[in-house]
């Protein structure tokens, strides 16, 4: 097939197949197949095909199904990819999951038209095409631009609608997303009941408004009160010292400004108020009650500001407003660290999988641990290896023992020799919990 020359799309590419363990590989393989249409159609027109090759002809009906499946998989793929970004916060993921739900609930969805030659190939030419034709309905697949059309999700006479398979898939996907992300019967599977998600969304600019609207739309009610409780619970754990507060944010400069009366300083910042209350004889730790009051006050101020703010990058917002919300700032830092996707450990297992390959399966556990720790954090090592402190053999042995110090509890130890129960067995044991869930990787 590489000998076939397609005008305007000279890149030689092969078809890609699915990988069971790779997220989005079904979409990727379909998109590649779609973009390979010109080459495939020339290939199947050849008169020298064997009977076996001819049997594999992709018929018109299949192309139609395929483009509809691409249409419904594209938004999911986008969201999955966005989730895996290392710096994606829970608020980011929440908003795109909501966007996905909205997309799937619309009447129509954008589907690529029946395959033809691409409108533009490569990022430069796609950019220039979009500049010239900003009003065209287009969709980008596999680094190529194709014309698209709106297709109705449900069958409607006189209009293009999704094929039966794709329509069923959309219906199942809608149910699955509601069940997995907005499940009113199970708080663990309801992102609008998850304190981490609620705090992260609430502390994003425009997040409070979004929570209210999404809560109403999904039919769960306004989760703002819960979100506020979650934020304040985290803030209650704050044990700031008066010293630390004096030194952080803009509080320091305000205090040190010469020529301003103490009263005016107090009037300018609530932060200084707490500090002024701390007598030097007392413990430097502020009373929890005061912190709580301050956090409440900051939260209500933040919500007023946030409701009027446009939704934007939460990190940028907090960098700019750090001085205004000194107590809430730490809480925001904490909640934005939360991870919405566990793609990172799957990568870790890939590294470990390459290490514990078939021919090295008897590698010592401690070696695997040390190896994976070092390879994941090689950026921390100095360029000159002589700077790595040397250990004696005894010290190294002690270190290995501490590292590999996990001792299973006694009842497990009694259970037998080193049995690794697979997840399937576990699922059977916990069948009640596992309703509707399957091990999938």
Partner 1 sequence: MSTPSSSDDDIDVLHPAPAPPLPSPSTGAAVVTKSILPPVKSRSSKRPLSLSAPTGPDDQTFTAFLHDEVGITRPIVVAEAPGSWSVKDLVWKHDPSGRARTQRSPLWGLVDVYVLKGSKDVYVRCNVCALDGVETFLFLQGGQTSNGTKHFETTGKGKGSPARRGDHLLAALYLANNLKGGPRTRLTAADGAITQFMRTADRREHHVRFVLMQIMTSSSHAFATSVYVRSFLGGFRINYAPPAFGTVTLHLSELASFISSILVDLFTAAANDYMGVPWAHVCIDLWTAPGSRASYGAVILRFTDLGTLAIKQKSLGVWACPRKHNHKAIVKWQQEVPGRVGISEGDIASTTTDSRSNVRKAEADLDAPWIPCAAHALNVAVRKALGASGESANQRAIRVAAGGRAARRHLRACPNSAARELLPGFAQQQRSSSTQTRRRRG
For the segment 391-430, give every residue that binds partner 1 (CB under 8 A).
391, 393, 396-397, 399-400, 402-406, 408-409, 412-413, 415, 418-423, 426-427, 429-430
Under rule CB under 8 A, residue 440 binds partner 1: yes
Among positions 244, 305, 309, 311, the unique one binding partner 1 when judged by CB under 8 A: 244
Structure tokens given for 438: 């399957």
Among positions 107, 116, 127, 165, the unique one binding partner 1 when judged by CB under 8 A: 165
Under rule CB under 8 A, residue 109 binds partner 1: no
Long-range CB contacts for residues 301-305, cutoff 8 Å, separation at least 24: 301/325, 302/203, 302/328, 303/202, 303/208, 305/205
What's the min distance (Å) between Cβ of 136 and partner 1? 28
- Who's near 197: CB < 8 A, 6+ residues apart? 90, 91, 94, 191, 338
Among positions 56, 124, 158, 261, the unique one binding partner 1 when judged by CB under 8 A: 56
What's the min distance (Å) between Cβ of 12 and partner 1? 9
Whole-angstrom Cα distance, residue 223 to residue 214? 9
Among positions 163, 273, 311, 352, the unique one binding partner 1 when judged by CB under 8 A: 352
SS3 260: coil
What's the min distance (Å) between Cβ of 2 and partner 1? 5
Whole-angstrom Cα distance, residue 210 to residue 224? 10
What's the min distance (Å) between Cβ of 352 and partner 1? 5
Q: Give the CA angle between residues 382, 337, 229 to the nearest 5°.
A: 155
What's the min distance (Å) between Cβ of 100 and partner 1? 8
Residue number, 82 or 140, with CB nearest to partner 1 = 82
Residue number, 259 or 393, with CB nearest to partner 1 = 393
For residue 47, how many other CB atoms are within 10 A of its CB?
Answer: 4
What's the min distance (Å) between Cβ of 185 and partner 1? 15
Under rule CB under 8 A, residue 385 binds partner 1: yes
For residue 306, how many other CB atoms are within 10 A of its CB?
Answer: 22
Residue number, 126 or 211, with CB nearest to partner 1 = 211
Under rule CB under 8 A, residue 103 binds partner 1: no
Show contacts with partner 1 in window 313-342 (CB under 8 A): 315, 318-319, 322, 329-331, 333-342
| Binding segment toward partner 1, per CB under 8 A, in 125-133, 237-245, 267-275, 276-284 | 237-245
Show contacts with partner 1 in window 252-281 (CB under 8 A): none
Q: Please give the C-alpha separations between residue 233 and each of 110, 199, 227, 300, 329, in angstroms, as whole numbers.
A: 43, 10, 10, 15, 14
DSSP string over 166-180:
HHHHHHHHHHHHHHH
Whole-angstrom Cα distance, residue 296 to residue 235? 9
Q: How many CA atoms lie within 13 A of 308 on its CB side?
A: 5
Structure tokens given for 90: 């829970």
| Binding segment toward partner 1, per CB under 8 A, in 65-73, 124-132, 213-221, 297-305 | 65-73
Question: Which DSSP helix (H) or strand (E) runs through 28?
Answer: helix 25-35
Under rule CB under 8 A, residue 384 binds partner 1: yes
Among positions 241, 256, 257, 308, the unique one binding partner 1 when judged by CB under 8 A: 241
Among positions 99, 238, 309, 311, the unique one binding partner 1 when judged by CB under 8 A: 238
What's the min distance (Å) between Cβ of 304 and partner 1? 22
Task: Tell me the residue length of the chain.
Answer: 441
Show contacts with partner 1 in window 4-33 (CB under 8 A): 14-15, 17-20, 23, 25-26, 29-30, 33
SS3 125: helix
What's the min distance (Å) between Cβ of 125 and partner 1? 26
Among positions 31, 76, 210, 271, the unique one binding partner 1 when judged by CB under 8 A: 76
Q: How many CA atoms lie within 13 A of 150 on its CB side?
A: 9
Residue number, 179 or 268, with CB nearest to partner 1 = 179
Exposed e or buried b per residue across 221-236, where buried means at least 16 C-beta atoms within 10 angstroms of its C-beta:
eebbebbbebbbebbe
Query: What are the φ/ψ torsions at residue 190 (nearest 5 degrees)?
Result: -125, 110
Among positions 180, 254, 305, 311, the unique one binding partner 1 when judged by CB under 8 A: 180
Show contacts with partner 1 in window 113-142 (CB under 8 A): none
Under rule CB under 8 A, residue 41 binds partner 1: no
Among positions 279, 281, 362, 410, the unique one binding partner 1 when judged by CB under 8 A: 362
Residue number, 138 or 331, with CB nearest to partner 1 = 331
Whole-angstrom Cα distance, residue 263 to residue 267? 6
Backbone CA torsion sign across 209, 215, 218, 221: negative
Among positions 10, 51, 61, 132, the unique one binding partner 1 when judged by CB under 8 A: 61
């Amino acid at each position: 097939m590489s000998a076939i020359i397609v005008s305007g799309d000279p890149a030689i590419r092969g078809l890609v197949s699915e990988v069971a363990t790779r997220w989005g590989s079904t979409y990727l393989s379909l998109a590649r197949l779609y973009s390979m249409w010109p080459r495939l159609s020339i290939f199947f027109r050849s008169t020298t095909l064997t009977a076996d090759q001819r049997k594999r002809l992709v018929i018109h009906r299949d192309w139609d199904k395929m483009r509809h499946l691409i249409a419904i998989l594209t938004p999911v793929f986008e969201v999955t990819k966005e989730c895996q970004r290392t710096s994606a916060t829970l608020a980011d993921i929440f908003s795109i999951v909501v966007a996905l739900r909205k997309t799937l609930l619309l009447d129509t969805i954008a589907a690529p038209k029946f395959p033809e030659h691409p409108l533009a190939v490569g990022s430069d030419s796609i950019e220039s095409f979009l500049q010239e034709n900003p009003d065209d309905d287009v969709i980008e697949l596999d680094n190529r631009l194709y014309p698209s059309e709106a297709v109705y999700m449900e069958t409607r006479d006189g209009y293009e609608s999704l094929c039966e398979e794709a329509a069923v898939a959309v219906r199942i996907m809608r149910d699955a997303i509601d069940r997995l992300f907005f499940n009113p019967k199970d708080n663990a599977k309801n992102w609008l009941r998850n304190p981490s998600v609620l705090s992260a969304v609430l502390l994003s600019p425009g997040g409070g408004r979004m929570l209210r609207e999404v809560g109403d739309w999904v039919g769960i009610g306004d989760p703002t009160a819960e979100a506020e409780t979650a934020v304040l619970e985290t803030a209650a754990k704050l044990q700031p010292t008066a010293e630390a507060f004096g030194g952080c944010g803009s509080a320091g400069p305000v205090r040190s400004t010469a020529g301003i009366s103490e009263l005016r300083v107090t009037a300018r910042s609530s932060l200084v108020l707490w500090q002024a209350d701390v007598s030097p004889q007392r413990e430097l730790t502020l009373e929890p009650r005061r912190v709580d009051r301050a956090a409440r006050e900051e939260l209500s101020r933040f919500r007023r500001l946030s409701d009027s703010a446009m939704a934007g990058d939460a990190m940028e917002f907090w960098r700019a407003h750090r001085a205004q919300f000194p107590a809430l700032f730490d809480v925001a830092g904490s909640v934005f660290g939360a991870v919405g996707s566990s793609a990172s450990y799957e990568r870790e297992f890939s590294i470990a999988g390459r290490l514990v390959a078939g021919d090295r399966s008897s590698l010592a556990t401690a070696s695997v641990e040390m190896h994976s720790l070092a390879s994941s954090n090689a950026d921390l090592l100095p360029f000159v290896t002589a700077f790595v402190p040397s250990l004696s053999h005894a010290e190294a042995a002690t270190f290995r023992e501490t590292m590999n110090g996990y001792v299973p509890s006694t009842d497990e130890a009694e259970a037998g020799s080193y049995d690794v129960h697979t997840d399937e067995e576990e699922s059977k044991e916990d069948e009640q919990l596992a309703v509707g869930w399957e091990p999938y990787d």
